[in-house]
Structures are given as structure tokens and as C-alpha cells.
């Protein structure tokens, strides 16, 4: 009887063990077939991630489970799964999140022969981490390699908007400028400049002081025979060191020609002084004071010295109308704003012109001739004979 009891207990144990193995196998297969996933990112990924040890495969027995599962998800192109693992560590602000980030960027580099995979992964991650400069710069790099230059520039613009370090800002801006020139050259070579007009309009709005964007716009407008728009951009470029002469030559073709003989120069032409790459015109106020004004197409307002404006105000030739902020070489300046009854430019008289009081500190110029004055004319700078030619719009 004792032997029979032992035999029955042994048989029962074997049956229970076999039943456990079969049940475990069935449950594992059922989960794999259903592909269950957590209802939200907040649930711990371990609740649904199949428990497998990849330490042996990676030959890194001390590698954290999160790193193994993260890398496996990337290898299998399960970017959402990888993102959930990364988000959980990133929310906890652990050192492990930095390790996962390093693994991710290394994996992107390993996919150099499969750039589409790297782009897909980065696009997915940057939807959530749109301020991450490392992700953005890497995505821009991949777009550039695929000649998707507009996308690359857009990503760099995002990176620049989230950069606070001056070196990072300069680095992003330099890349944007370089890529925009490459994009322009490619489109010009293929006679497709008209296709990038909207894109360069956006760039010029974001960075109006970068002359190349205006040059690209002008060339696109010329291709479309939109001469009015081309003239507007070219006029602003005439004082630029890089594009000034080319802009003046193109303006000469689009506007009434300047006489070739010196004695035929129009009476409306204003002689200019040339100081380096600066052009200086002389203007006169009602009290017959002469001021040397530096032509600045980047300045919205004309400026005169404060002492002159105060004297004009005392003599009822100008009125104080408020204050304004001006962008100067030394940063932003808060300046008084006046309305000057008359400002004479050559044979033309500008009435009730708004002028800011600003002491430039330049030995060769007393103020700026800004676009609120120049914009009332079509203006050409004859750089060969140093004359400013004005014609009413």
C-alpha cells in the first residue's frame, strides 16, 4: 500500500508539471496572436512586453532590461514601442534616459544604408521631442543627405527657435544659410526658381536682414516677369556688400535708364559720398541745416541727431509725437520720435516725415536715411558715379 501511494503521488506531480507547461505555452501563444498593448503610454511597458533576456545575444550580461528592450524595439522597427520605453525613463529624468538617447542616435548612424528607417524613427520621436536639438540636427542631416533641403531647413529653423546657447544659434543659422544657397543654386540650374518663391518669402520674413533671401526672391520674381516685386527687393539690396552692384545693374535694366554721359545726369540726382561700403547723401531741413545721412535700406525710420531735432522743435519746424524702439549696431535703442515739417532730398521735399532722434556716433554720418523716406521713390544707386537717382512712384 505504501509503494502504491508513493507511485500515485509521483504520477500526480508529473501530470501537474505537464499541465503547467502546456498552460504557459498556450497563454504565451495567445498573447502573441492578439498583439496586446497597453491602453496608454502611462502603463508600464513591462506589463505587455514579452519577458525575454537578450543579454546573452548582446553579450552584455549587465545591460539593463530597458536598454535591451529599447534596442530590440528599434531593430524590429517598432518605433512606438521604443518611444514608450524612452518616455517612461525620460519622465523619471533618470540617467538611463540619456543612455537610451545615445543608443537611439547610434542606431540611426548604423542605418546609414537605410536612411528611410532613420528618418521614420526620428520623425516619430520629434513629434513628441520637438525641442530636442540632438534629434532635430540628426533629422536635418538625414534630410540633407536625401536632398530634401526644404525639409532640412525647416527642421533647423525649429532647432534655432529652441536654442538658447549663442554658439548653437550661430551653428543653426550657418547651416540654414548654407543650405538655402544650395537650394537656390539647384533650382536655378534646373530653371525652377519660381517653385521656391513661397519658401524664400517665409525665410525672408523670419530673417529680413539676411540679404541673400531678398536676392533669391528678386531672381524668382524676374523669372515670373513680376518686375514690381523684383524692383522692391533689388532696391533694398543696393547697399549690400555682396549683392549691391548686381542689384544696381538689374535695377538699371528694370527702371528708366541712367544717361551714360556725366553731363546728362538728371538734375534730380543726389551726389553721394562713399565711405567703405556705405553711401551717404546730404539732406536739408527748414532751418537750412545740412545733415549727412547714411543710406540704410534696413532701417524703417530716418534718423537725425537729437540736438538738431530739439532745435527744430524750438523753432516750430518739428513736433514731438512719441517714442520708438530702434534696432542699432549696439542693440535696441529707445528714441524720441518727431514729425519734421520738411526734409529736402535734392529737388524733392518730404513733408511731415517721421524722424527718430538718434546720435549714431559715426564720424562720417549724422543720421540714417531710412525706408520711410526712400520708400516714397523708386531709387537707384549709381555705384560707378556715386549718385542717388530718385523718381516718384
Tell whether the torsion through CA atoms of 249, 254, 260 and 266 is positive or negative: negative
What is the value of pTM for the model shown? 0.74
Q: Over range 344-350, report the average pLDDT.
A: 93
Class of residue 279 by CB neighbours under 10 A (exposed 0-12, middle 13-18, buried 19+): buried
Contact 336, 309 (CB under 8 A): yes
The closest of 127, 125, 88, 81 to 105, measured between CA atoms, is: 125
Q: If DSSP codes are grouped into helix, strand and coil, which group holds residue 362?
A: coil
pLDDT digits (tens, 9 = 90+) for 211-226: 999 999 999 999 999 9
Given a cut of 90, is residue 126 above it in pLDDT?
A: yes
pLDDT digits (tens, 9 = 90+) for 259-296: 555 555 666 789 999 887 889 999 999 989 999 999 99
How big is the CA angle at 116 (ends 110 and 122), to the nearest 5 degrees? 75
For 152, the grid coordinates are 532640412
Mean pLDDT of the chain: 84
Q: CA–CA distance from 127 to each of 45, 132, 134, 331 (Å)?
A: 20, 10, 14, 35
The number of beta carbons lying within 10 Å of the beta carbon of residue 200 is 23
Q: Over range 149-170, report the average pLDDT.
A: 93
pLDDT digits (tens, 9 = 90+) for 87-118: 998 888 778 889 999 999 999 998 877 888 99
Residues 60, 63, 66, 69, Cα dihedral to 10°: 0
Whole-number pLDDT of residue 26: 55
Whole-number pLDDT of residue 234: 95
Work out whether strand 377-382 and strand 367-369 pair parallel, antiparallel, or are unpaired: unpaired
Amino acid at each position: 500500500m505504501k509503494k502504491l501511494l508513493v507511485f500515485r503521488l509521483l504520477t500526480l506531480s508529473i501530470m501537474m508539471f505537464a499541465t503547467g507547461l502546456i498552460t504557459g505555452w498556450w497563454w504565451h501563444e495567445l498573447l502573441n496572436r492578439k498583439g496586446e498593448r497597453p491602453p496608454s503610454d502611462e502603463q508600464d511597458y513591462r506589463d505587455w512586453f514579452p519577458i525575454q533576456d537578450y543579454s546573452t545575444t548582446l553579450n552584455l550580461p549587465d545591460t539593463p532590461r530597458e536598454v535591451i528592450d529599447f534596442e530590440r524595439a528599434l531593430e524590429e522597427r517598432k518605433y512606438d514601442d521604443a518611444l514608450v520605453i524612452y518616455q517612461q525613463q525620460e519622465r523619471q529624468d533618470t540617467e538611463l534616459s540619456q543612455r537610451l538617447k545615445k543608443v537611439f542616435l547610434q542606431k540611426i548612424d548604423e542605418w546609414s544604408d537605410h536612411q528611410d528607417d532613420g528618418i521614420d524613427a526620428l520623425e516619430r520621436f520629434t513629434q513628441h521631442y520637438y525641442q530636442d536639438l540632438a534629434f532635430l540636427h540628426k533629422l536635418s542631416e538625414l534630410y540633407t543627405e536625401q536632398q530634401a533641403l526644404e525639409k532640412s531647413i525647416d527642421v533647423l529653423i525649429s532647432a534655432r527657435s529652441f536654442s538658447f546657447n549663442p554658439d548653437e544659434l550661430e551653428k543653426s543659422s550657418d547651416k540654414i544659410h548654407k543650405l538655402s544657397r544650395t537650394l537656390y543654386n539647384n533650382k536655378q540650374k534646373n530653371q525652377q526658381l519660381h517653385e521656391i518663391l513661397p519658401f524664400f518669402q517665409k525665410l525672408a520674413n523670419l530673417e529680413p536682414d539676411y540679404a541673400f533671401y531678398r536676392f533669391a526672391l528678386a531672381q524668382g520674381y524676374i523669372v515670373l516677369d513680376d518686375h514690381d516685386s523684383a524692383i522692391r527687393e533689388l532696391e533694398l539690396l543696393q547697399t549690400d556688400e555682396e549683392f549691391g552692384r548686381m542689384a544696381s545693374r538689374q535695377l538699371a535694366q528694370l527702371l528708366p535708364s541712367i544717361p551714360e554721359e556725366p553731363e546728362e545726369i538728371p538734375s534730380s540726382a543726389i551726389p553721394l559720398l562713399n565711405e567703405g561700403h556705405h553711401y551717404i547723401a546730404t539732406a536739408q531741413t527748414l532751418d537750412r541745416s545740412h545733415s549727412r545721412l547714411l543710406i540704410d535700406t534696413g532701417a524703417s525710420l530716418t534718423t537725425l541727431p537729437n540736438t538738431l531735432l530739439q532745435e527744430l522743435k524750438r523753432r516750430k519746424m518739428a513736433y514731438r509725437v512719441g517714442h520708438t524702439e530702434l534696432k542699432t549696431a549696439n542693440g535696441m535703442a529707445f528714441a524720441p520720435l518727431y514729425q519734421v515739417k520738411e526734409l529736402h532730398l535734392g529737388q524733392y521735399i518730404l513733408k511731415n516725415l517721421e524722424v527718430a532722434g538718434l546720435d549714431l556716433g559715426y564720424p562720417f554720418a549724422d543720421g540714417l536715411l531710412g525706408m520711410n523716406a526712400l520708400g516714397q521713390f523708386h531709387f537707384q544707386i549709381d555705384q560707378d558715379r556715386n549718385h542717388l537717382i530718385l523718381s516718384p512712384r
